[in-house]
Structure 1
Amino acid sequence: MAIRNLKGKRVFITGAASGIGAATAEAFAREGCELLLADLNTGGLNGTMQSIRQLGAESTSISLDVSNEEQFHQVAGDIIANSGVPHVVINNAGIGAHGSFLNTPMDVVRRVIDINLYGVYNGCHAFLPAMLEAGEPCHLVNVASLASISPMPNMSAYAASKYAVDGLTEVLAMEMSGSNVDVTCVHPGIINTPIAEGQSYNGDEGRRQEQHLGEYYQAHGSDPAVVARDIVKAVKQGRAHLWTGNKAPLTEKVKRLSPALMRRMAMKMARTIGYA
């Protein structure tokens, strides 16, 4: 049940204070949607809200720690009671972590999994029952990463979390087939977002990566607006998978044709930006 006309639809987005989340909020605002925007970064969220207002769309800001199951369900209940069931739920919030497997502390690993994986689980659990009960066309969007098929050295926690999001979303798509809820897994490639600034860098190799990562993203990353526009198209078309941004579509094709070649390409790129 693709949502071909988004005008007046309610869209809930996590991680909406910056990057892909903020750009996606603006893209849906241009479609005439009502935005429900969640993040812990209230300052950044206010900036997104201002952009939404300038586009003439209605929006509500919500302070939310996506890893907190109880808080997420409370927020979802309040939204459903006060605004109605969202037609589109986008689980986008995420953090990164860099450093070799042995140099990445377990508390960092747990934090990455809590936000990147359990944050998505919480969003699905909090909204999916009401979306199904509503009966009208709805769409669940989970943002994974290119790292879910082509990780690089020194990002084990991040890659593990995104592989899990990919698997979770694939299962949900199968379980929701034939229902009123479409499910999309988004795999952004190299995107010029502030995520590089907020990542955890561990060990000497992590610190080396920190020196190069932001510069590389700025030089080679796609604008988040590219991802945002593609997410809107995916919702309208009811697509199950979306490969978007620099290197993502090509990487997906190479991975299918030759996993060994993909690994060699990943290692070459890793050396370029200090990952190996």
Structure 2
Amino acid sequence: MEQWHHRTVIRDGINLATRRRGNPDGPAVLFVHGYPDNGDVWDAVAEALGDDYHLITYDVRGAGASSSPRGRQAYRLEELRDDLFAVIDALSPGRPVHLVGHDWGSIQAWEAVTEPGAEKRIASYTSLSGPCLDHIGHNLRATGAGDLAASLRQLAKSWYIGAFHIPALAPMAWKLGLGDAWPDLLRRTEGLSAPVSATQTRDGAQGVALYRANMLPRLLNPRERRTTVPVQLLVARRDRYVGPALLDSVPPWTGQLWRRELNTGHWGPLLGHAPLTARYLKAFIEHIEGAPADAALQRARVTAADGPDSGKLVVITGAGSGIGEQTALAFGARGATVLCTDIDPDSAARTARKIQDAGGQALSRKTDVGNSRSMEALARYVDKELGAPDVVVNNAGIGLAGPLLDTTVQDWKQVLDVNLWGVIHGCRLFARQMVDQAKSGHIVNVSSASAYLPSRALPAYATSKSAVLMLTECLRAELADQGIGVSAICPGIIDTPITGRARFVGVDDDEQSRRRDAAQRLYHKRGFTADRVARAIVDAVQGNRAEVPVSVEASGMRLIGRWAPGLARRLARLDVAP
């Protein structure tokens, strides 16, 4: 990219150091940094956006190369707002900017965005880790007992705000060495490399005035601050300083709102995941400029009718019937967009239509989970058209019964390709997307109660499901640091169509039909339906449960397998063929 072009904008005797580069005829994007940063903190995001935009940054008063006026009142939000408007008027006259703010840059940007007539200067606003103080003030006044507990937890996170109100304490800390230690501190707490700033000590010491001039006045005496400017929230789920719940107060004050979540810390969207942040900015800006919203941005739109899983994408294999179908319906009823996949495209489409007929959002796609190319094609489609999923349910499976000595190599290949390799493909492909797109997602692998006990009647099937259970535990450990949950669901005797399609090896066609009919009667008599497994899957995702035995028999088999292995081996000798 070309070099930054520097210019000083003067407002009421305050020098504001600005930079700009890119296409002066493209959409203007104005970045506002937070505390204790300066405009350089946006360099990685600007680099990722490229030269198609007119990119503008500036050092707010008290930071970087801008003036540092004396006195607390010089740092009131009204002054910061007018600085921002002065920069817009000087560098993008006649064309509204797409405003992007982080931390205190976001807080002061809210002041500008909620000013009457702001839409004349601001085309859109993307907020990262910075709430409107007035919105928080109103929310605190309206809190009930439960919300009060959440507010107290946030106050515990924000302990430093109280320290900043102690005269001279914070500025002294910056001058006594915090400024020099800041890059290392950020590396230790956030795992990120921050740009080294020659003005870091001054920025930290002077910026304390932002808190002292605005926090208490705005929280204790909040104003009505609404906006018609389209707003996008980029929410860092692992933010140590601004909890995601603080942004729950935004919807009533906005006319158009989108919300996306990133599994990062406070500075992660700027320094660790700058390309992803740029990707979200591009999609939002281009939509506001007139382009159709992509599927991920459509899901991110916040509406009054949103369910608990609104905005989420759920991918389910084997969604054409049984557990997969019921799980798709359950997530669809919770507001998620559900991608129903099955080797039978007609059954997947029927499930998707049921969700749509109930008012939900769903798509369908033919996929053979036992075929690596088919699964890779599914993953490419999801990545390109829908964005990384929030939940993946690896459910597709087939049944196979009969002695090992009668089970052919082809039989083994078929059951392992679907029951085990299908899960492996779903885990490896979609977990990679979740990690790359900073999703705090969840993967559900449907195993079986047969994973708990050996059986002379189910050697191939039990082996495949036991492997799924161990795979789940391994992957759960691997992805824990990424904020991605992994759960194994182990149903017992469930009345689903899989029993009517299961194969029995080593018998003729007539005997196979008799055994299938007998198995179906047994499962139907048991009366444990697929919708109950679907509820267990939803609960496992919500509670991040590692392993869920579903049904009494599944729990019993789990206990015997773990605490009475001798009994389990004796039971394995029984011929339980129907």
Secondary structure of the residue aligned to 1:203 is: coil
Corresponding residue of 2:546: 240
Deviations 1:237-262 (A, max 9, x none): 11111111341122222322212234
- Does residue 252 of structure 1 match 2:561? no
3-state SS of 1:7 partner: coil
User: Does 1:176 find its partner at 2:479?
Assistant: yes
Structure 2 counterpart of 1:227, from 533, 536, 546: 533
Gaps of 5+ in 2: 1-236, 238-260, 262-306
Helix, strand or coil at the partner of 1:178: helix
1:115-264 pair list within 5 angstroms: 115-204=418-507, 207=512, 209-264=515-570
Q: Which amino acid aligns with 1:242?
A: V
1:171–1:251 Cα change, 3 Å: same
Matched residue of 1:140: which SS?
strand
Return the alpha-carbon distance in structure 1 between the equivalents of residues 498 and 372 of structure 2. Answer: 23
Moved more, 199-208 or 37-46: 199-208
Report if aligned partners of 1:108, 1:200 keep a CA contact under 8 Å in 2. no
- Counterpart for residue 86 of structure 2: none
Asked if the contact 2:367/2:374 (under 8 Å) is kept, the reply is: yes
How far 1:210 moved relative to its partner? 2.7
Q: TM-score, normalised by structure 1?
A: 0.91
CA contact (8 A) 1:98 1:202 kept: yes
Distance 1:25 1:267 in 2: 38
Distance 1:19 1:240, change over 3 A: same
Q: Is the 8 A contact 2:308 2:335 kept in 1?
A: no
Query: 3-state SS of the aligned residue for 1:192?
Result: coil
Residue 178 of structure 1 and its aligned partner are, at CA, apart by 1.9
For residues 43-62 of structure 1, the C-alpha deviation after alignment (integer angstroms, 9 at most, x for no partner) is: 22232122211221111101
- Per-residue Cα deviation, 1:157-191 (whole angstroms, up to 9, x for no partner): 11111111111111101111221211111111110
CA distance in 2, matches of 1:227, 1:164: 20
**Deviation per residue, 1:17-38 (Å, 9 max, x gap):** 0010001001111111100111
2:356 aligned with 1:53: yes
Aligned to 2:334: 31
Which amino acid counterpart does residue 100 of structure 1 have in structure 2? Answer: P
Query: What is the one-letter code of the residue matched to 1:39?
Result: D
SS in 2 for 1:186: strand
Structure 1 stretches lacking a partner, 5+ long:
none
**What letter corresponds to residue 333 of structure 2 in structure 1?**
R
SS in 1 for 2:319: coil
Secondary structure of the structure 2 residue equivalent to 1:125: helix
Structure 2 CA distance, aligned partners of 1:125 and 1:234?
Answer: 20
Conserved in 2, the CA contact under 8 Å of 1:140 and 1:184? Answer: yes
CA apart distance, 1:137: 1.5
Partner of 1:193: helix, strand, or coil? Answer: coil
Change (3 A) 1:134 1:213: same
2:487 and 2:545 in contact (8 A); partners too? yes
Q: Which amino acid aligns with 1:25?
A: A
* Aligned residue pairs, count: 271
Q: 1:64 aligns with which of 367, 379, 388?
A: 367
CA distance in 1, matches of 2:527, 2:409: 30
SS at match of 2:316: strand
**Equivalent residues of 2:375, 2:426 under 8 A apart:** yes
Deviation of 1:116 after TM superposition, in Å, equals: 0.6
Q: Which digits, 9 at most, give the CA deviation of each residue in 1:71-111, with x for residues without a partner?
A: 21121111121111100011110001111111122211110
1: distance between equivalents of 2:433 and 2:346?
A: 30
Bigger radius of gyration: 2
Is 1:98–1:209's contact at 8 Å kept on the other side of the alignment? Answer: no
Contact preservation (8 Å) 2:326, 2:531: yes
2:170 aligned partner = none
Q: Distance in 2 between the 1:26 and 1:177 partners?
A: 28
Q: How far apart, in 2, do the equivalents of 1:267 and 1:32 lie?
A: 47
Q: How far is the alpha carbon of 1:12 from its aligned partner?
A: 0.1
